Amino acid sequence: MAKNLKIITDPDPKLRQVSQEIDIGSVKDPKMQEFFQDLEKTMLENDGVGLASPQVAENIRVIAVKNGQETLCMVNPEITKRSWAKEWGEEGCLSVPEYYGEVSRSKKINCLYWDKKGNKKRIKVQGFPARVIQHEIDHLDGILFTDKAKNLKKSSE
């Protein structure tokens, strides 16, 4: 049974660490499979559209992303191509509660990753899903959206 993990918040120094790649051979390990389920459940229970492992104090390169009706668990995700065209959009973050700001992101990306069964996958996304994946991969590199945001404001304002 998947459990809800504790989401850490800024200024926790764990959010600023660069996450370690996972040995793909360990993806099928029962503990890793349990972590994937826990990460997805935590994201959904907190009304998130994405969640990166550093946000639950795990220094590994795994993100969960809502893509339409399905949730993708992406291991060692890597953006292989970005569109030159960028767009500004409002972002928030479960690890920076109550704050929102405008962030410029590539409109389209290609991403290479391994799924939770250890299969190599490629995905081409644009618009909101592309924004979410870029935001979550930033977490894996110790970057928060507030580092890139303009017009940062508290939600009560």
Hey, which residues are catalytic here? 136
How far, in Å, CA of 79 to CA of 99, rounded? 26
Q: How many CB atoms lie within 10 A of CB 133?
A: 24
For residues 90 and 48, the answer to whether their CB atoms sit within 8 Å is no
CA distances from 99 to 20, 29, 122, 146, 150 (A): 28, 37, 32, 9, 11
Q: Which of 118, 108, 29 is nearest to 73 (CA)?
A: 118
Q: Phi-psi region for residue 74, left (φ > 0), alpha (ψ -120 to 50) or beta? A: beta
